[in-house]
Amino acid sequence: MKDIIYEFLDYISLERKYSNNTEINYEIDLFKYDEYLTKEKKNYLLINYQDISKYIVYLRKANYLPSSINRNLSTLRSFYNFLERKEIINNNPFNYIKNIKQEKKLPNYFKYNEFITMLETLNDDHPLNVRNRLILELLFATGIRVSELVNIKINNIDIGLRQIKVSGKGNKERIVYFGSYCEDAIKNYFNNARDILLKDKISPYLFINNRGGNLTDRGIRLIIDNIIKASALKIKITPHTFRHSFATIMLNEGCNIKSVQELLGHVSINTTSIYTHLTNEEIRRVYLNAHPRAKK
């Protein structure tokens, strides 16, 4: 089986152009599977539904999390699809296996006073601090993805209408909006920071790094990590946490879920509905703390 595994790994790397991390995960999953089949004296070409069920039980007993088991199933589904395309097998037995149910994890979010604490770490007018304040303001004001943030161009911004055209997943464009605080941060950045950071270079992009180039996703993450460390906040905050916080605050303040879906650029409203669980939890917490008959 090892030869065909390596052939499959070459295929996903060279032809499908999968990332190195994905290839490594596939390799780990496939050799784990090969180890199991060898132990059980099973032929990988003669696997059936019952064999797969037993393998899932094996992974559970090995303390694999549901997410890890589902990743294994996804890997093996792809592997057997590859075997089917090469006509080594007639059909893929993993196509009849559903992923196991996972507990839905509610996305973490921060509160408004914690956002103010972040801003307070940027307490001077150094060009980098001016830029970083705008990063925080834009993420919080719009709920955009970090990939959308770094790809904002100057001509995407309409300060008069307080709106920005962003390009989301699948290059789908949408309009997002910002308020007066973010408007002030944009003007301050243009007037007092961006040209200094450019170092006589030219760029159509809004955000510039300290070498005059364009900021990357990784650069934004490092900036936020440093801000959180400086703020001494005891919560994990990533660029995506701003998106969660934006959605939660909008729903808590009465914005309808369809509007939040449009602002976030979600294709399905089911994706947006996760945030209604967050707001319901907040309502429950407030009720239990406030009502005199809610607790003894």
Q: How far apart are CA 186 and CA 52, in angstroms?
A: 56
Catalytic site residue 218?
A: no
Catalytic site residue 291?
A: no
Catalytic site residue 240?
A: yes
DSSP sequence for 168-232: -GGG-EEEEE--HHHHHHHHHHHHHTHHHHHTT---SBS-B-TTSSB--HHHHHHHHHHHHHHHT
N-to-C CA span, the chain: 63
Of 52, 105, 57, 46, the closest CA to residue 74 belongs to 52
Choice among 54, 60, 169, 172 that is catalytic = 169
Catalytic site residue 145?
A: yes
Choice among 145, 189, 194, 244 that is catalytic = 145
**Are the CB atoms for 254 and 276 separated by under 8 Å?**
no
Choice among 131, 194, 243, 244 that is catalytic = 243
Tell me how far CA of residue 112 lies from CA of 45, 109, 116, 249, in angstroms: 56, 10, 6, 9
- Encoded amino acid at 161, one letter: L
**Are the CB atoms for 106 and 274 separated by under 8 Å?**
yes
Catalytic site residue 41?
A: no
Catalytic site residue 277?
A: no
273 three-class SS: coil
Angle at 66 between CA 282 and CA 246, to 5 degrees: 30
88 three-class SS: coil
Of 66, 63, 71, the closest CA to residue 104 belongs to 66
Angle at 136 between CA 134 and CA 141, to 5 degrees: 90
Annotated catalytic sites, by residue?
Answer: 145, 169, 240, 243, 266, 275
